[in-house]
Structure 1
Amino acid sequence: MTTAVGACVFSADSSLAFRWDMTPSSSGKAKRNPMSKRLAVPTATATTRKIETTSKTMRSFVEKNSSELEADTKQRIKLEKYSSESEEQEGNSRKWLKDYFDEAKDMIKSDGGPPRWFSPLECGSHNRNSRSPLLLFLPGIDGVGLGLIRQHQRLGEIFDVWCLHIPVTDRTSFTGLLKLIERTIRSENCRSSNRPVYLVGESLGACLALAVAARNPDMDLVLILANPATSFRKSLLQTIMPIPAELMSGQMTLTLSYLLSLMTGDPLKMAIDSIVKGLFLQSTIQERSQDFVAMSSYLPVLANILPKETLLWKLELLKSASAYANARLDAVKAQTLILCSGRDQLLPSEEEGDRLCRALPNCQTRRFGGGGHFLFLEDGVDLVTTIKGAGYYRRGRIVDYVSDFIPPTTIEVNKVYEEYRWMVDLTSSVMLSTLPDGKIVRGLSGIPSEGPVLLVGNHMLLGLEALPMVPTFVIERNILVRAIAHPMVFFNAKDGGLPDLVTYDTFRIMGSVPVSAINFYKLVSSKAHVLLYPGGVREAFHRKGEEYKLFWPESSEFVRVAAAFGAKIVPFGVVGEDDLAQIVLDYNDQMKIPYLRSRIEEQTEKVVSLRTDTGGEVANQAMHVPFYIPKVPGRLYYYFGKPIETKGRKQELRDKKEAQELYLQVKSEVEKCVAYLKEKRESDPYRNILSRLIHQAAHGLTSQIPTFEL
């Protein structure tokens, strides 16, 4: 059971303790701090807490409509309007940098005491029956603990979030902070040993997280490190340390102004982003000017967060933390994700991310090219999306790709769709489906809305057909298709040679799972819509002249599981590859060239072997990418055939012969779908891109381009 790799590696078939913080009010009565809900004192008993149970369902992307979906101009405008409104609605629920300063100002008014944990109100209330793992946020140099303020709401849906607050006047040593964090994670481990503890640290906090992981190699920890200060020796902050305290007063305003500018981001980049989003230049300049004036008013707040003595102490703390963490990197065994900014003006974060990734055995990196030092406070950075994309969210010791999956939000689906929309627009993809009465209609209205449903079809070159198909299902029908993908989408060789895992982040966000019998069984039993490509890698990386040829195993690999749960099997075909590209060097050609042959053999050894007990063509899972030249773009055609019912046939299909007959029927139907499209596209007057451009010039860019008669 395998799948394609390269440009697309989509699916194959399945073989198978904060107390109320009381501050005096003007009336003399105590009042609760509005941004906190409980205080966890730095003792082991502090971890007796309430945990939230969340029962989030995937939000509706479009209104459900059982009638034929004719994707005309009106429908397209409706989708675009809905997309815009959904993004605005989700964006408005987020907090901003202004909220950071407002809440930090309130928080430090009556600051004092030792470092302690708090849970932000936006993260929701928790109860002990929740399976949400604990997430501990370890702050950077500010120490306030509000560095995730823009992330709180989404993090609170899937984590129990605790944030570390280090009071302004506190002088707890680095080892003292380590012991506080260790007591917390050990207590959590005793209470719930089967769940991981997430340590999210930025800058100084990243060093703390690494140090804790090094001292506790047997603990199940997941580290999320943003711009780690392990590169402090190369930091601009080093230049402040030699300045005597009595001479530093004159430098404080300049230093704090510089830090504030880093927190507010790059003014030019912010203005350009606003223009790209559609704002007028004049209003953009005016609004940004107002923002900068407003932000300058927070300079006194920053001065209260980092007065001279505290800043010098934090710099010494950074120096100690960096040295401590660097000396113990070889002891870190925890699963680690490093987030590094390309425009960090305090630390060489990209360079440091590469160094740490080489040094740590279980590590990945994600780059934010336009991001600054205070990454989590920046617009467009979503920590939950990043964690999901990297495949780092799990509730147990190992990830369960079915039960641990968090459905994509509207914004995530729209971003994935936009990423591949160029392909939809360039090829003016035609999607056809079949109603229960056998009528062929344009659109996806023939796809059963209730699962389990198996979409079984053919791979084109590199599996490119799946890229726009999956988000289109969500946008048009509110159906999330779970693709079964090759293991290399989830596990990569440490020494390189294969595509970086970041290439496949969007696949994981949209619900792809590694190919395995158990994952296939779980998806079908959970009534999911599952995408299967029995031809796998062999079909996606075919040779010259093998376009649209099926390379399926000889025996059934999915029929009996489908019948066990009464799944509907929807055979489908896709054509258009031969109008997009032409293979010039296939597997046979490359194996004749010594360098390419050795490269193919090396890459094949690095990936997980699949179908080792299968003979014939499908057993040849050599990891290579055909060399091809693009053509003037033609058109992609999808045809989803009439669903095949298996409900009520469980006993019948337990017989191998009966199951094999149904398997061959599905294969035959896929071949018929391909043949239908190859024949009908010959009569499509808009198969050529020139005719499509002329049509759009006459009817508008958003108009639906006609196709052959159905």
Structure 2
Amino acid sequence: MTAVGACFFPAATFSPSCNRISSVTPLLAVSADQIPASTAVRHGTVKKEKKVKEEKEKRRMNSWNEYFEQSKEMIGPDGGPPRWFSPLECGSRLDNSPLLLFLPVMYSCIIYRYVYFPLADLVKIVERTVKSEYQRSPSRPIYLVGESLGACLALAVAAHNPDIDLVLILANPATSFSRSYLQLLTPLLEALPDPLSPGLPNILRSTAGESLRMVLDNVVQGLPLQSTAGELVKDLTTFSLSLHVLADILPKETLVWKLQMLKSASSYAQSRLYAIKAQTLILCSGNDQLLPSQQEGERLLNLLSKSKCELRKFDDSGHFLFLEGSIDLVTIIKGTSYYRRGKYHDYASDFIPPTTDEARKVIESNSLFNLIASAVMLSTLEDGTIVKGLDGIPSEGPVLFVGYHMLLGLEKIPLVSRIYLEKNILIRGIAHPMMFMRSKTGKMPDISSFDKFRIMGAVPVAPANFFKLFSSKSHVLLYPGGMREALHRKGEEYKLFWPEQSEFVRMAARFGAKIVPFGAVGEDDLGQVVFDYDDLVQIPYFRSEIESLTSEATQLRSDLGGEVANQQVHMPLIMPKVPGRFYYYFGKPLETKGRKQELKDREKSHEFYLQVKSEVERCIAYLKVKRESDPYRSIGPRLLYQATHGFESEVPSFEI
């Protein structure tokens, strides 16, 4: 978990019995990479990516060995109870940041070896802090992040305090203890010979560098439950290099006590789930060898449905989720839209721009599609000159991009990526509300598939969001044709389905936003619709499914008539083609600055609206003609060109 840079939260971590603040904390505290004034990945830096990534990882992730070595210095007995400690390695805080309290999986293990605190006392300690902080800032939420046993503790505190605004983030919660192999580990430990405890540090020191599996294979040879132990330790190999340190602070009796604590905490939390009202995010690993975490996540999701609850799965991750280099809790919080500074999440004011690393990962996840599309982009300068590239796009906002929504909305992927890479501009897309709500029936796309769009700034369509984005001088992307245009029928390629009434002109004029009309073509070179909505509704089964999906999705423009209000949710059958190429043409920016009063007039506003629509249609027509003269329109010639000139080289296209 990242530990360097600008803080989302003033964070505190539940610590063992100690009275000092330590640099060990950033391994556990929630933070993010430094958010630069300009968050972008520059074009042409692919060769440096590997080196930059390696250096970044060294800086971001403290090793297990370092963590345990520093932990040894913190756990000396001082006669005090468990307490909180805060990070030192952290950047500047955001205004009105909420508090985050972190309850790590290891906290009940590292408590000084001869002092074992009852579960009820631990609950009271956290609860006391929660109440105190709520009194100080009642208008801001308090985040409780709990791992494994810590998740049980967080659930218990939330159940006791239903009237406090809490946000729970539960990683592999130990509420599944009764269904795990861990419950069988207690008799195994009790069966181990007594000399094991004092001798274990020496054994582990001599095996530094070996996996925990190899160590326990030697230790439990010939003992009952050997096969069970072998399965349990798969997930512990992550920190095998630090076992000699761990052995110093975890004697046998501590391990037994921890298992007993897990059992009681699981039962305690289970009996109070009915009282949970807190907003909850459950994070579950698919390769957790200690607990059946994904099954438990599904179960908790159903039980906590009365509260706002979401689930995210990490199929390749193990039990210690936050200690894996590929997992960043901050990115998860941003992608799920769980970061808020007030009672509700505000998609404009609570949005945190993606870090360079976050943006890179999102763009890389679409690298194959971007390679296939090999987008050609044209823009228009203020004097009307058409140029290759994006020099004609205004750098200063507010700017509103208005264009054609290609089949399935595929055009937005190269568009957002290229503008971000080349212009250092983050496009805030206006998106359908279905991208921000969990499916009730399971028939809609899983909400997690849209996390990367939320990381990159997508917001649900709403007048209030338009207002906030324009007031913050953002670059906004709008498709007036919406779903009807993106899920068009056969033979409707490049046909606009815009509302008859103007929808965005007066809002843009209010803030003096520049409107950039654009066209995009290429969907007909990628696939062909062979079974569309009109075909699907003729079949009773598909008609029923479409009606179910449409009723579940938020209805937009329900007060309007015509095609644009007819936005049935369905998936057309598309026959793929040998990939062609995508083309974009951004027209000359249209000024609204100084026309606020003029465009308040409904007739004038409508005239301007039709002008924008006409410009989009002109851009599409221009591209359809010009692409015919592109010698690299097909993927074959493009691949041949890149094979001879390098795959990082830009493939030429037609002459302007």
Q: Which residue of 1 aligns with 2:96?
A: 131
Q: Residue 539 of structure 1 is aligned with which of 477, 485, 493?
A: 485
User: Which of 1 and 2 has higher RCO (CA within 8 Å, sep 6+)?
Assistant: 1
The residue number in structure 2 matching 1:8 is none
Alignment partner for residue 113 of structure 1, among 61, 70, 80?
A: 80
Partner of 2:260: 316
- Deviation digits for residues 603-660 of structure 1, max 9, x if unmatched? 1111111112211111112111111111110111011111111111111111111111
1:678 is aligned, of 597, 618, 624, to 624
2:529 matched residue in structure 1 = 583
Match of 1:104 in 2: 71
**Matching residue of 1:501:** 447
Secondary structure in structure 2 of the residue aligned to 1:207: helix
The CA RMSD over aligned residues, in Å, is: 3.2
Q: Does 1:304 align with 2:248?
A: yes
For residues 649 and 189 of structure 2, the distance between their equivalents in structure 1, rounded to whole angstroms, comes to: 69
Structure 2 partner of 1:237: 182
Q: CA deviation at 1:62?
A: 5.3
Q: 2:509 corresponds to which residue?
A: 563
Alignment of 1:469-484 (within 5 A): 469-484=415-430
1:537-585 CA distances to partner (integer Å, 9 max, x unpaired)?
Answer: 1100111100100000111111111111111100000000111111111
| TM-aligned CA deviation for residue 365 of structure 1 | 1.6
Report 1:20-31 matches (<5 A).
none
Q: 2:40 aligns with which of 61, 64, 84?
A: 61
Q: TM-score, normalised by structure 2?
A: 0.87
Question: Does residue 608 of the first structure (1) align with residue 554 of the second (2)?
Answer: yes
- Tell me, in whole angstroms, the C-alpha distance in 2 between the residues paired with 1:264 and 1:389: 34
Residue 379 of structure 1: how far off its partner (Å) = 1.4
Q: Deviations over 1:230-258 (max 9, x none)?
A: 11113232222235758453565789979
Tell me if the contact between 1:463 and 1:540 (Cα under 8 Å) persists in the aligned partners: yes
Contact 1:97/1:264 (CA < 8 Å) preserved in 2? no
Residue 377 of structure 1: which of 323, 346, 349 is its match? 323
Q: Distance in 1 between matches of 2:349 and 2:209?
A: 40
Distance 1:230 1:632 in 2: 51
Is residue 80 from structure 1 mapped to residue 46 from structure 2 by the alignment? Answer: yes
- Which residue number corresponds to residue 554 of structure 1? 500
Task: Name the stretch that deviates more: 503-512 or 166-175.
Answer: 166-175
Amino acid of the residue matched to residue 225 of structure 1? L
Q: How far 1:264 sits from its partner (Å)?
A: 8.1
- C-alpha separation in 2, matches of 1:261 and 1:390: 39
Contact 1:430 1:636 in 2 (8 A): yes
Return the alpha-carbon distance in structure 2 between the equivalents of residues 477 and 293 of structure 1.
44
Question: Is 1:638 aligned to residue 584 of structure 2?
Answer: yes
In the TM superposition, residue 34 of structure 1 has moved relative to its aligned partner by 4.4
Identity within the alignment, %:
58
CA–CA distance in 2 between the matches of 1:110 and 1:523? Answer: 53
Between stretches 298-307 and 227-236, larger displacement belongs to 298-307
Give the whole-Å Cα distance in 2 for the aligned partners of 1:575 and 1:342. 40
Q: Which residue of 1 aligns with 2:140?
A: 195
3-state SS of 2:280 partner: strand
Distance 2:92 2:515 in 1: 42
Aligned letter for 1:93?
Answer: R
User: For residues 114-134 of structure 1, what are the alpha-carbon distances to aligned partners after superposition, in whole Å with 9 as ceiling and x for unaligned?
Assistant: 1111102124577xx941111
Structure 2 CA distance for partners of 1:484 and 1:85, relative to 1, 3 Å = farther
Aligned to 1:148: none
SS at match of 1:298: helix
Amino acid at match of 1:134: L
Unpaired runs of 5+ in structure 1? 1-16, 24-30, 39-50, 64-75, 145-164, 268-291
Alpha-carbon spacing, 1:85–1:654, altered in 2? closer, same or farther (3 Å): farther
Q: Map of 1:56-455 to 2, 5 A cutoff?
A: 56-61=35-40, 78-81=44-47, 83-84=49-50, 86-94=52-60, 95-110=62-77, 112-123=79-90, 130-143=95-108, 166-243=111-188, 245=190, 247=192, 249=194, 298-361=242-305, 362-455=308-401
Q: Contact between 1:114 and 1:166, CA under 8 Å: does it hold in 2?
A: no
SS of residue paired to 1:496? coil
Inter-partner Cα distance in structure 1 for 2:25 and 2:288:
33
Q: 1:314 and 1:263, CA in 2 relative to 1: closer, same or farther beyond 3 A?
A: farther
TM-score by length of 1: 0.81
* 1:107-161 Cα shifts (integer Å, max 9, x gaps): 12346421111102124577xx9411111111224536xxxxxxxxxxxxxxxxx
Alpha-carbon contact 2:34-2:355 (below 8 Å) kept: no
What amino acid does structure 1 have at the position aligned with 2:418? T
| Aligned match of 1:667 | 613
Tell me whether 491-500 or 551-560 shows the greater mean CA deviation.
491-500
Equivalences for 1:520-531 in 2 at 5 Å?
A: 520-531=466-477
- Once the 2 structures are TM-superposed, how far is the Cα of residue 99 of structure 1 from its aligned partner? 2.5
C-alpha distance in 1, partners of 2:617/2:209? 58
Q: Distance in 2 between matches of 1:523 and 1:618?
A: 24
Seen in structure 2, the aligned counterparts of structure 1 residues 245 and 697 have a Cα distance that, compared at 3 Å, is closer
One-letter amino acid of the counterpart of residue 103, structure 2: L
How far the C-alpha of 1:343 sits from its partner, in A, is 1.4
Are the equivalent residues in 1 in contact too, given 2:204–2:244 (CA < 8 A)? no
Counterpart of 2:247, as a letter, is A
Alignment-mate amino acid for residue 237 of structure 1:
L
1:624 maps onto 2:570 in alignment: yes
Q: CA deviation at 1:57?
A: 4.3
Distance 1:254 1:594, change over 3 A: farther
> Cα deviations across residues 86-114 of structure 1 (Å, max 9, x unaligned)?
53454333123233112212212346421
Render the CA deviation track for 1:236-283: whole Å, top value 9, x for unaligned.
Answer: 32222235758453565789979x99998999xxxxxxxxxxxxxxxx
Moved more, 622-631 or 90-99: 90-99
408 and 264 in structure 1: CA distance in 2 versus 1, 3 angstrom threshold: farther
Distance 1:425 1:587, change over 3 A: same
1:435-493 C-alpha deviation (Å, 9 max, x unpaired): 11212122112110000000000001110110232122111110000001111111123
CA contact (8 A) 1:444 1:477 kept: yes
Give the match for residue 220 of structure 2. none
How far 1:345 sits from its partner (Å)? 1.3
Aligned equivalents of 2:204 and 2:651: distance in 1? Answer: 55
1:35 match: 23
The CA distance in 1 between the partners of 2:123 and 2:400, in whole Å, is 50
Count of aligned pairs: 615
For structure 2, the residue ranges without an aligned partner over 5 or more in a row are: 1-11, 215-235
Residues 58 and 468 (structure 1), Cα distance of their counterparts in 2 relative to 1, 3 Å cut:
farther
Judged with a 3 Å threshold, the aligned counterparts in structure 2 of structure 1 residues 104 and 665 are, in CA distance, closer, same or farther, namely: same
| CA positional deviation for 1:356 | 1.4
Name the SS for the 2:108 alignment partner. coil
